[in-house]
Structure 1
Amino acid sequence: MPRFALKIEYDGRPFAGWQAQADQPSVQGAVESALGKLDAGFATGARIAAAGRTDAGVHATAQVAHANLHRDWDPFRLAEALNFHLKPAPVAVLAAARVPDDFHARFSATERRYLFRLQARRAPATHDRGLVWQVLHPLDAAAMREGAAHLLGLHDFTTFRSSICQAASPVKTLDEIRIDEVEIPHGREYRFHLRARSFLHNQVRSIVGTLERVGAGSWPPARVAEVLQARDRAACGPVCPPHGLYLCGVGYPQDPFAD
């Protein structure tokens, strides 16, 4: 059976997360339903595998999944057919690619990249409502960058790990954390870019919530190092809401969508 990789974009607001659930809408369920219109295996219960299981309300601009199909589709036509059957769900297949049988969307991945959008302004968000986390007070980007520097590298991230996280170990390597500041009408947007081989459950949202406290002046930047070393969930800052978070890239030894 030919195996295809799919690059998928979605608005997470209508969904209970990526993972298929019996009684709630999911992104996985929407994609598998569209595949069921094209392939007998998915019409009778076949499943796809994804690089990451995003939570309820979390978005993606470049989620990656793979599927085994009975027919050897032209990749462009497969993406077009899936997008036709995905309507009107806010899910789109940006690209499809034929991949080797040993390619696995999750286990072949060498890195994940996330973006978190945080807006600071008094007026409510309109066009970006449900797509950003909004706070009313201005933030100190330099202080947040100073605090974020303590998190780079190999650490025990127990402080920034959800109590229901199923990862075997809290030890992870955070390869990059970059904070860009962008002017918006009557306010500022802070874009947090994080890159690692893998992340713990709620790790990104916990990190951004902690750094927001630093940017607001409630915590000194050095406190980030202290809460990291505490290895105690209770030491973490607030966990920020999911709707500012985007899975924006997955890296592989060879990019399946390079062509």
Structure 2
Amino acid sequence: MIKNYKIVLQYDGSRYDGWQKQGNTGNTLQGKLEGILLKLTGRPVEVHGSGRTDAGVHALAQTANFHADTGMTEDQIRAYFNQYLPEDIAVLSVETVPDRFHSRLNAVKKTYLYRIEMGPKKDVFERKYCYGLGKPLSVKRMEEAAACVLGEHDFKSFCGNKKMKKSTVRTISDITFEKEGTKLLIRYTGNGFLYHMVRILTGTLIEIGLGERSPQEMKEILLKLDRQAAGFTAPPEGLFLERVMYEDRE
């Protein structure tokens, strides 16, 4: 009997070409999972992720789902995944969900975390998991700018896809800043994020935190609906998909 399974997984994205499988590479997260499911079921199984993290981006709790016919229990499926997955990918949980559940379409909110090292050099053992800015930032200026993008807006200026034809309207419900030693942690929570949106927002906030732009510019950038008006795209290694939320489930 075919069942719908929801999985939560974490991964170090450093050596992968992103989430989505592509014809020119087999080195994707989706590809690795589908390869194991092919072994497990003996037939192709498509895995749907809650979002397509880019090359080099990490996940603390990515959610995905797939339909499969297997006699294994949920715990056995999880153990099978973890037996064959490389050490930088782990399936944390497997649960049977209603047939209509879709990890991307049913997600109501996501939280992304971006980690910035403001100290002169990154910790050797964390070098793959934060952006080494190496300069102090004014959190007060960044908070003032971040307040301008809260709520529902057209985020076209913060979209890295120039050919985007679908709506670029999204809602950001929260942006928080937390200092952890010499690191600055920024968390973005919203109903969805465009291609490179979190990284472009972060790059823009960094420029404001360095005093290269004024906090008030954030409103003007939004209104221009032009990627060229916003700041640089912060590198992928500082970005983590931290949480995916669903109605009536979490």
Answer whether contact 1:12 1:57 (CA < 8 A) is retained.
yes
2:79 is aligned to: 80
- If the length of structure 2 is used for normalisation, what is the TM-score? 0.95
| Matching residue of 1:70 | 69
Cα pair 1:9 1:91 within 8 Å, conserved: yes
- The equivalent of 1:150 in structure 2 is 148
The answer for the alignment partner of 2:5 in structure 1 is 4
Identity of aligned residues (%): 32
- Specify the alignment match of 2:108 in structure 1: 110
Deviations 1:185-206 (A, max 9, x none): xxx1111111111111111000
Aligned mates of 2:226, 2:86 — CA distance in 1: 44
Residue pair 2:45, 2:68 contacting (<8 A) in 1 also: no
Amino acid at match of 1:102: R
Query: After superposition, where does 1:7-26 map in structure 2 within 5 Å?
Result: 7-24=8-25, 25-26=27-28
Deviations 1:205-257 (A, max 9, x none): 000000001111111211111211221111101111111111111111132xx
SS at match of 2:40: coil
User: What is the distance in 2 between the residues matched to 1:7 and 1:95?
Assistant: 5
Aligned pairs (5 A) from 1:97-136: 97-136=95-134
In structure 1, list runs of 5 or more residues that go unmatched. Answer: none
Is the 1:205–1:241 Cα contact (8 Å) retained in structure 2? yes
**2:239 aligned to which of 236, 242, 245:** 245
Instruction: Provide the secondary structure at the position in 2 that maps to 1:21.
Output: coil
Aligned length: 248
Structure 1 residue 152, shift from structure 2 partner = 0.1
For residue 155 of structure 1, report the CA deviation from its aligned partner: 0.8
Deviation track 1:100-143 (CA, whole Å, cap 9, x = no partner) reads 10111111111111111111111243111121111121111111
CA–CA distance in structure 2, aligned partners of residues 142 and 204 of structure 1: 19
Give the corresponding residue for 1:29: 31
RMSD, matched Cα: 1.4
State the match for 1:174 in structure 2: 172
Shift of the 96–139 alpha-carbon distance from structure 1 to 2, 3 Å rule, reads: same
- Give, in angstroms, the shift of residue 23 of structure 1: 3.1
Regions of 4+ moved over 2 Å? 163-167
Residue 167 to residue 12, structure 1, CA distance change in 2 (3 Å): farther
